[in-house]
Amino acid sequence: MQSSAFTHIATAQLAWAPRGGGAAATRRVPPSSAVAAPLRHRQITHSMPPEKVEVFKSLESWASKSVLPLLKPVDKCWQPTEFLPDPTRPISDFMDEVRVLRDRASELPDEYFVVLVGDMITEDALPTYQTMINTLDGVRDETGASPNPWASWTRGWTAEENRHGDLLRTYLYLSGRVDMLMIERTVQYLIGAGMDPGTENNPYLGFVYTSFQERATAVSHGNTARLAKEGGDPVLAQICGTIAADEKRHENAYARIVEKLLEVDPNGAMIAVGDMMRKKITMPAHLMYDGQDPHLFEHFSAVAQRMGVYTADDYADILEFLIGRWRLEKLDGLKGDGRQAQEFVCGLPQRIRKLQERADERAKKMKPKGQRFSWIFNREVVV
């Protein structure tokens, strides 16, 4: 792979723009309306050969036995209310709980809130992700209430995910630290803009994407949990940690699906992993916009990278983990194109780390710069 191509992607599309260089290095045209966001590549549709739909049909009973149990029964699931001040208590007790929450939140720095808001906005664009999964041939929910196990999974997964944005949003609202109006506008813009992960209606690509993405969100929420704990807010740490645990369970489900595809169709599945990794995994909120900053996603990503919430190293770690989990290095029975994909993917983590080392070296020589975020009343943080 050309290093220049990778550097471009690293700065423009991943949630880990190299420190000091990423945001300034790319210029994306701001969306003039909620539906006019720019697209990063030619959109390809229905790339899975129609006969491969049968693969997913033949795996339905396997999915019922091996994927659906990874959803939790509703009465065993946590709900946002359990982590928030209790409005059914007498008003003065409720106000005390809110006051305690705000005291704890007051210890955390602005840059922490930029990252937490970005994560919350990403969660809140959930309608986009359910739509994306329902673009996938052979596994989509054909009726909206289909009893098919693939469709049941998608609805159950969405229902679990729906708690994440709810909880973070309410916490942020009560904290008083952020500009909810700008956050709400950003969510509306983002849902209007959608996302463009390059999955081509192809469930092979779709499930590689979701495996990677769920692990990435687990890493990110895990790190916001750690920082909240260090910053003196154990309740917020528990909130982020609880969400991270859901993401891990979801990652396990999607990675299990890809594992199965590698078993029943090693060549096809290996090519899919190679294809997604060549395109790079685009973060789901890559089209975020607040009506002001045309480079909002890059700026948010730069803060996440700088704070160690989601970094280039994390990207390489996730890929390395999936290579190990899917035993890609040892995969045999591949044809020429499958072997090529295998070689590319297995060498990629090392190449990413090298490129990032160079980007870090360059960034060290640059002066840190301030960036204003509307989400925190246009105060400035270092990117």
Chain contacts with Fe ion (rule: CB under 5 A): 123, 161, 164, 214, 217, 247, 250
Q: Is 214 annotated as a binding residue?
A: yes
Residue nearest to Fe ion (CB): 164
Q: Is 123 annotated as a binding residue?
A: yes
Q: Is 247 annotated as a binding residue?
A: yes
How far is residue 116 from each of residues 224, 300, 376, measured CA to CA in Å? 7, 10, 11
Catalytic: which of 161, 251, 293, 298?
161
Task: Answer yes or no: 214 catalytic.
Answer: yes
Task: Answer yes or no: 123 catalytic.
Answer: yes
164 or 169: CB nearest Fe ion: 164
Task: Answer yes or no: 251 catalytic.
Answer: no
Q: Is 46 annotated as a binding residue?
A: no
Q: In whole angstroms, how close is the CB of 54 to Fe ion at the nearest point?
A: 29
123 or 298: CB nearest Fe ion: 123
Q: In whole angstroms, how close is the CB of 106 to Fe ion at the nearest point?
A: 26
Q: Is 164 annotated as a binding residue?
A: yes
149 or 284: CB nearest Fe ion: 284
Q: What are the tokens at 102?
A: 């705000």
Catalytic: which of 160, 166, 247, 314?
247
How far is residue 33 from each of residues 13, 82, 191, 269, measured CA to CA in Å? 20, 37, 12, 37
Task: Answer yes or no: 8 catalytic.
Answer: no
The set of residues, in sequence order, having a beta carbon less than 8 Å from that of 341 and lying 6+ positions away, is 270, 271, 273, 274, 275
Q: In whole angstroms, how close is the CB of 356 to Fe ion at the nearest point?
A: 25
Task: Answer yes or no: 217 catalytic.
Answer: yes
211 or 311: CB nearest Fe ion: 211
Task: Answer yes or no: 230 catalytic.
Answer: no
Catalytic: which of 124, 137, 150, 164?
164
Q: Which amino acid belongs to residue 124?
A: D
Q: Which residues are catalytic?
A: 78, 123, 161, 164, 214, 217, 246-247, 250
Q: Which residues are annotated as a binding site for Fe cation?
A: 123, 161, 164, 214, 247, 250
Q: Which residues are annotated as a binding site?
A: 123, 161, 164, 214, 247, 250
